[in-house]
Amino acid sequence: MSPMSDKLNVASSPHWRDGSGLAGTQKLWLLALLPAMVASVWLFGSHSLRILGLAVAFSVLLDALANKLIPSKDKTTNWSSVTLAVILAFLMPYDAPWWLILVGCFIMIVVGKKLFGGMGAYPVHPALLSYAMLLVSWPSRLDYTASLVSLDWGVKMVEPVRLVKTLGGSAEQVFYWQDLLLGKQVAGIGNGLVLYLLLGGLLLILIKQITWHIPVTFIIGNFLMATILYLVDPGQFASPLFYLLSGGTVFAAFFLATEYTTSPVNPVPMLIYGFLGGALLMIIRAFSNYTDGVVFTILLINLCNPLLDRIRPKIYGLEVASHA
Amino acid sequence: MPISPLQTVLRSLAHVPKFSACEKTISPIRDPDHVVIPLEYPGQVLFKPLVQSGDTVRKNQIIGQSSLGNCVHASISGVVKEIKPIWTARSYNVPAVTIERNEEPALSADEMFECYGVPFQSASRVEKLKASGVISPWTRPGRFHHEEEVAGFPEVKRIIIKGVNEEPTVFTFELLLEQRAEKILQGIKQLNDMAPNAAIWLTTPKHLTKWARGQFGDSVQIVGVPDEYKHRIERLLVPRLTGVDVPNTVPYRKKGVAVLSVEYLLTMVDALEGSGPFVNKYVTIAGSHIPKAVTVRIPLGTPIRTVLESQGFNEETCTRLLVGGPMKGIAQYSDETPLTKSSHGIYLMSEESLPDEVNLTCMNCGRCTRACPVNLQVHLIGRYVEHDLLEEAREFHPEACNECGLCAYVCPAHRPLVQLIQMCNQYVGQTNEPHER
């Protein structure tokens, strides 16, 4: 009857959509990681480019291959493997060999992500799962201090947290906070670039890709726990600000703990989750054998996520039994 | 009280912009070549036809009556072409009368009341309302309940008059509020007479609050409603204003609350002073490629296409055609669909304004859950329903959903979250189910 009847597009409401698409979201994350990527290339030169390039290439290829074998709704075109690859690359020491990156990407994409059902289904952060497995398999290859021993940036070329751990709290005087902030500290190719990561993280909050809950409470948790430890034993522990600026604290607060799939979705659990993460990071740094506790902290709080997310807000508009 | 200031800080709620440009004048369109008038509002009222195909009817003539004496009228003069089931804009299959226009004059109000069997002078207030097709204002809108149930409902203690539409692109109520203030004041007086013990609220757009206080402030409480959609959602506004917790599955009227619009109030005044039955409807036309929304007055039952053509809109650029607005509107498969008493707006969407990809995988970001004004765990319900685990989804109380659409609005994966919840609710069978005929 009507010429329009054949071509009208029908869908359920709402018809206005604000969402950027999955690929759009991931691209915004990459935009937020960009300052740190640029700083990393400026600091490490071609080494950083090599690691970033290899990680992205391996990840995307493995993702496409895995999707070909077992097709799922988690398409390669959603760019999630690129973001994960950059995050994994940031954790790598600057002399990481190609095979280490390949194994890392395989564990991250195939085991960590695809085997659990893809984006939205994995229980722990795939990049950190992969990094943790590399760390226990080849601890010497992932030793940041050993990897950077030949470089000299005019600062003490030892991981700050490690030096404090071995020499006691007074060792923090060796480091200037400006150096720590600008990323002149021994770490992976990206996770120690505090200022640039902070800028990217704030951008993520500003463009509403993440909310403030987890990063803010993560930092508060870390700061409080560090303050307590410092007050109890100033000889053994450095000042709270030192722990905030050294290693991957900021990276963890803004980019690792906030990963969508593995973090809580309700506001109150998010606050607890962030706080728990920050405090746990400090506890691991203080009492464990691992130097920078970021990886295991995030993996542990990831596992708490399903339990925390059971704290749910009260639903409005329900029929109450007494009314019936 | 949903959405407290603390919550707004705690949960970055979604921001749905209001369509800002609108033409202030309301222009009536000329009578269309044909109208299609439905004889049923599913779950609420069913009319028995009083005419047959071939009959000549005049505008304002009663063409159908319900068991309780509520009437439906011819909105144009003409010949009844057929009575057959059609699909309404809300996707119900109901019988409807098609009238093809001729040039007969309209019935006067007195003639109309004569048809009804009670002369206007001696008619009671309720009879006037019923004869004029203004179903007692306490029955609509709200969740489904049959007209006969209304007798058992408690006395109305609280009345909300809606001077703003929920939808960001529909302007009918606020324009009428501004332009028909005197008549609205009369309507408020009538309400006061009918329900002397009731408290009355009138919602207005924020920019009209001061003016409205001056106009109506003596007889009603004026409530300025911000432009943002999340503050306009009716199911949240009602408990916030009245302090009465009305469960989502229960009609307001069961809790002694009545919600009606200014448009409805105006038809009520017309009915009570005998200036004609409910045959005209105000509709705002907006669209993704229409710079300025226009509001028109149409005879009830006018097909969408006729309305669009009357305003010179080029249908070729339209890919999706909505009755209602972009948040709760229903996409039509045909532009022949007639507009009824519950159609307040038309929204046209061009190809470019639709998302490229829909229903991608959920990545558990939880934006839907944080956007939900009634605190549903939308991400969980959506995924359970997606995997056919309806029983499990039910444990998260999807029946509290009033389908405001904020969850799907913010979803980066463009998932059909409202539809997934609807599927769950239809399965539960507690809401959205019309009563048995």
Q: What residues of A are in contact with residue B246 (Cβ under 8 Å)?
A: 317
Closest residue in chain B to residue A25, using alpha carbons only: B412
pLDDT of the residue at B6? 53
**What radius of gyration, in Å, describes the C-alpha atoms of chain A?**
22
Q: Output phi, psi for A190, to 5 deg.
A: -140, -20
Q: Domains in chain B, please, with CATH?
A: 22-29+282-353 (3.10.20.600), 34-131 (2.40.50.100), 138-143+151-273 (3.40.50.11540), 367-428 (no CATH)
* Residues of chain A neighbouring B406 (CB-CB closer than 8 A): 14
For residues B422 and B399, give the distance between their C-alpha atoms in angstroms, rounded to a whole number: 9
Name the E strands within B171-319.
199-205, 221-225, 257-261, 280-287, 293-299
Give how far the C-alpha of residue B150 lies from the chain's centroid of Cα atoms, to the nearest Å. 19
The separation between the first and the last C-alpha atoms of chain B, rounded to the nearest angstrom, is 36
Q: Which of A289, A292, A283 is nearest to A252 (CA)?
A: A292
Predicted confidence band of residue A1 (pLDDT cuts 50, 70, 90): very low
Residues of B in contact with A119 (CB under 8 A): 361, 363
Looking at CA atoms only, how far is residue B381 from chain A in angstroms?
14
Q: How far is CA B403 from CA A12, B332, B399, in A?
A: 11, 18, 10
At A18, the pLDDT band (50, 70, 90 cuts) reads confident
* Residue A124: predicted pLDDT: 96
Closest chain B residue to A321, measured at CA: B247
Name which of A8, A260, A315 is nearest B376 (Cβ-Cβ).
A315
Q: Do B360 and A78 count as a contact with CB atoms less than 8 A apart?
A: yes
Residues A106 and A34 in one domain: yes
Q: For residue B62, give the H/E element and its range.
A: strand B62-66
Report pLDDT for A2.
46
CB contact under 8 A, A4 and B328: no
Of A84-88, A208-212, B354-358, least confident by mean pLDDT is B354-358
Nearest CB to A211; choose among B12, B320, B332: B12
Last residue in a domain, options A92, A107, A137: A137
Pairing label, strands B345-349, B320-323? antiparallel
Q: Tell me if B47 sits within 8 A of B40, measured CB to CB.
A: yes
Spatial contact of B261 and B161, defined as CB atoms under 8 Å apart: yes
Do the domain assignments include residue A242? yes
pLDDT value at residue A207? 86
Instruction: Let me know whether A85 and A198 are in one domain.
Output: no
Assigned domain for A12 exists: no
- A99: which residues sit within 8 A by CB, 6+ positions away? none
In a domain, A36, yes or no: yes
Look at residues A118, A137, A156 and tell me which one is the last residue of a structural domain: A137
What pLDDT, on the 0 to 100 scale, is given for residue B2? 41
The CA-CA-CA angle for residues B360, B365, B369, to 5°, reads 100
Chain A residues with CB under 8 Å of B354 CB are 9, 15
Do A199 and A222 fall into the same domain? yes
> How far is it, in rounded angstroms, from Cα B228 to Cα B189?
30
Residues A102 and A180 in one domain: no
Considering its fold, how many domains does chain A have in total? Answer: 2
- A270 shares a domain with A132: no
Cα separation, A28 vs A310, in Å, equals 29
**How confident is chain B (437 residues) per 10-residue block, as mean pLDDT?**
48 67 91 93 82 94 88 94 92 92 91 87 87 68 56 84 93 94 94 90 94 92 92 90 87 86 93 91 92 94 93 81 93 91 91 84 92 93 92 91 92 92 71 41
Q: Which two tokens stand for residue B135?
A: 């179903």
Backbone angles phi, psi at A177, to 5 degrees: -65, -30
Q: Which residues of chain B are within 8 Å of residue A7 when distances are taken between CB atoms?
A: 319
Q: Which residue of A has its CA nearest to B363?
A: A120
Q: Do A17 and B315 touch (CB under 8 A)?
A: no
Is B413 within 8 Å of A21 when comparing Cβ atoms? yes
State how far the alpha carbon of B211 is from the alpha carbons of B203, B214, B232, B264, in Å. 12, 5, 20, 21
Q: Is the Cβ pair A119, B327 closer than 8 Å? A: no
Out of A5, A7, A317, the one facing B374 most closely (by C-beta) is A317
Contact B378, B228 (CB under 8 A): no
Residue A108 resides in a domain: yes
ipTM, interface predicted TM-score of the complex: 0.89
Each residue of A95-118: pLDDT tens digit? 999 999 999 999 999 999 999 999
Which chain B residue has the Cα nearest residue A24? B412
Stretch (H or E) spanning B47: strand B45-49
What pLDDT, on the 0 to 100 scale, is given for residue B148? 66
As a whole-number percent, the residues of chain A with pLDDT over 90 amount to 69
Domain that holds residue A84: 22-137
Collect all residues with Cβ–Cβ distance below 8 Å to B133 and sequence separation of at least 6: B70, B71, B72, B73, B271, B277, B278, B279
Whether residue A170 sits in one domain with residue A69 = no
Q: Among residues A137, A157, A173, which one ends one of the domains? A: A137
In a domain, A95, yes or no: yes
